[in-house]
A and B are shown apart, each in its own frame.
Chain A
Amino acid sequence: MSSKEKILAAVKLNQPALQQLPDLGNLNAIQYEDTFLQFSTVLKTIGGTVVEIKNTDEIIEYVKNNFSNVQNFVTTLPELPEIKMLDEKLDAHFLENIEVAIIRALFGVAENGSVWVTDEEMKIRALPFICQHLAVLLHKKDLVNNMHEAYNLIGAKQYDFGVFIAGPSKTADIEQSLVLGAHGPKTMTVFVIA
């Protein structure tokens, strides 16, 4: 008997009588009067930066003014002509010197300040983790109240890899002192466009 068969047989023998799944519709999950206000308040609290913009040119201006080594900026967004487009074929290890990566987020979540990104938006999975600074473009209309609405929006969509990102990489492992930039980005800037 294989371990699989052994484990499954033991589970079947020992699991209790079937209990029904609860209906998530009964949760009355939190709603906010102003999802943008909530989103930006939370994101700032967890170390992120929120910048409201009217057009994508402002992204270029902002990153040039706030970060150095412009030759090491990359983007996956065609609307940022002055920033180098990410070469999708690149081996992820060559991204280690990326200073700023600018990508799109599909939506943001007001209750926790996170944004949802899949491999379609990052092209190379390591990109939003290995860059020194992460910048994300988000449309104001693409804000949901809570994680239940988030998963309703994701629904049965196909992705190979997806991630909720909420602020810069961080740790508080040394005496609970918060330090931004553990292994991943030291900053996260979300550009919110109306």
Chain B
Amino acid sequence: MSSTNAKHPELSAIFNKDEARVDWHDETLWWIRQKRDKAAWSVPEWEELRNTASAIKNNVLSNLHNYLIEFEKNAIANGVTVHWAADAKEHNEIVHAILQQNKVSQIVKSKSMLTEECGLNDYLAKNNVEVIDTDLGERIVQLAGEHPSHIVLPCIHWKKEEIGELFHKHLNTPKGNADPQFLTAAARIHLREKFLTRKVAITGVNFAVAETGEFVVSTNEGNADMGAHLADVHIACMGIEKIIPQRKHLGVFLRLLSRSATGQPITTYSSHFKKPNAHQAMHIILVDNGRTVQLGRESFRNSLKCIRCAACFNTCPVYRRSGGFSYNAVIAGPIGSILSPNLDMKKHADLPFASTLCGSCTNVCPVKIDIHNQLYLWRQEITKQGYSPKMKTAAMKVMAVALSKPALFTIGGKAARWVVKHLPFLVNNRLNPWYKQRDLPTAPKQSFTEWYKQNRHEQ
């Protein structure tokens, strides 16, 4: 993620320079959204399943204290070492300390948005530890010196020809070969060598079961398992909200997760890690990093129910057309726009405004987070704290005056229709941010009020 303070409108403008690419990005994600729909409709009890998942997560948030204690107790009984990290810094230090104890400076890591959130790779690089991301999409963005632009599809913004070029440079594949089958085979050989030689593997956690102390990791590639089973030490990093009460609740979430994410009935691998291998050590790091603060924000705590499926990304008309990097946050898209302001309200003040509030995100969310309501509530909170985008605030103030004075509203409307008709360049110019990526409609001859006055007696 870029450390600049560039805001969503500027960053979207960069992405929008290449219109054909925007269309391609938009259509690819919409295709995944359609696959999600087909998968969801194949389950007649889908809505009841969402309600159930939401209710389980509500219970988790309301009893998280006890579940965390229960989980830790059971994990320790299973032979796992449990660590607690208050923030990103502590998380990274714990990982580094484990690596130092094991005298290891090269590791493999499967997908974990939490380690992205904590900036683990950069931290370890500064401490001379080499991290190889093993998810193919993550490896691609890592080789390119980027971060994931999507939490499930990290390199969704990359074209195969560009990946071919990247692999030619880093993996010595023939120049000009952009065949996905061929490139994946090259990555398989490249990464197999890493799996076989690295002594420590880091994975994320999709679900952690309080009742049994086990945790589940879902992948399609099998990279989490290849890393974890071939390493001497497995470190699993998780946010404290990943806890679920009982093993049987996995049935609910595994039915929802991949159908919502990619339209698959289940991921290829849903691995249940309970006890370490005979000659292996297993660590779990439980991370807060702002989650307890979010838990205390009554209006926003629902965001902690998220299972990171990214269905809200794929359906979002803004995300599809502005790209993941326009959010300038580890987690982009609608869910990122309600999670990020909790971490840094000033830096991410623009994100709740990067939405049309159409509500599609809320409709597809498998755990029924009211994402678009929270976006709206964050706008109010951010404005109250004085962080709202200046242009929008100024425009809103003008609108507030106009809307509170009917006469002014009527005159304003008339003037606007006249301007659009006779002096369109006053609106469709580059100084007007609204006009970017939009076409100006032709102005109607009269306002609705005028039309109504004329026509109301004709009924």
Contact = CB atoms under 8 A, between A and B. Distances in A.
Interface of A: 2-4, 6-8, 10-22, 24, 26-30, 42, 46, 92-93, 96, 109, 111-114, 125-126, 129-130, 146-148, 150-152, 154, 156, 159-177, 179, 181-185
A172 B44 CA distance: 27
Given A176-B156, A183-B195, 11 more contacts: A7-B240, A15-B65, A16-B62, A16-B298, A166-B269, A174-B158, A174-B163, A175-B158, A175-B180, A182-B222, A184-B268
Interface of B: 28, 31-32, 43-45, 48-49, 51-52, 55-56, 58-59, 61-65, 68-69, 84-86, 90, 134-137, 140, 153-156, 158-160, 163, 180-181, 183-185, 188, 191-192, 195-196, 220-223, 225-226, 229-230, 240, 245, 247-252, 254-255, 262, 264-275, 277, 286, 288, 292-293, 295-296, 298, 301
**What DSSP secondary structure best describes chain B's contact surface?**
helix
A148 B137 CA distance: 32
Contacts of A16: 61-62, 298, 301
A21 to B, nearest CB: 5
Contact of A166 (B58, B160, B163, B265): B265
Nearest to B259: A112
A183 B65 contact: no
Contacts of B266: 109, 112-114, 147, 164, 166
Contacts of B183: 174
A187 B251 CA distance: 26
A170 B64 contact: no
A37 B293 CA distance: 49
Given A15-B61, A173-B137, A129 B251 contact: no
B245 A21 contact: yes
A169 B268 contact: yes
Contact of A152 (B55, B135, B184, B248): B248
Nearest to A111: B265
Contacts of B158: 174-175
A159 B45 contact: no
Contacts of A14: 292-293, 295-296, 301
B62 to A, nearest CB: 5
23 contacts: A6-B288, A10-B288, A11-B68, A14-B295, A14-B296, A21-B56, A22-B51, A24-B52, A24-B252, A29-B45, A96-B192, A112-B265, A129-B269, A130-B230, A169-B221, A171-B184, A172-B262, A174-B183, A175-B159, A181-B185, A183-B195, A183-B223, A185-B222
A61 B286 CA distance: 49
Interface centre among B43, B251, B273 (most CB of A within 10 A): B251
A150 to B, nearest CB: 6
A7 B84 contact: yes
Interface centre among B247, B252, B268 (most CB of A within 10 A): B268
A177 to B, nearest CB: 4
B48 to A, nearest CB: 6
Given A4-B84, A147-B254, A175-B159, A27 B45 contact: yes
B50 to A, nearest CB: 11
B254 to A, nearest CB: 6
A95 to B, nearest CB: 9
Contacts of B268: 46, 165-170, 184
A169 B230 CA distance: 17
Interface centre among A93, A148, A162, A174 (most CB of B within 10 A): A174
* For the complex of A and B, 5 pairs with smallest distance between CB atoms: A184-B222, A14-B296, A112-B265, A182-B221, A10-B292
A173 B136 contact: yes
A183 B226 contact: yes
B28 A176 contact: yes
A177 B262 CA distance: 13
A148 B192 CA distance: 35
B222 A183 contact: yes
Contact of A182 (B51, B61, B188, B273): B188
B56 A179 contact: no
A176 B32 contact: yes
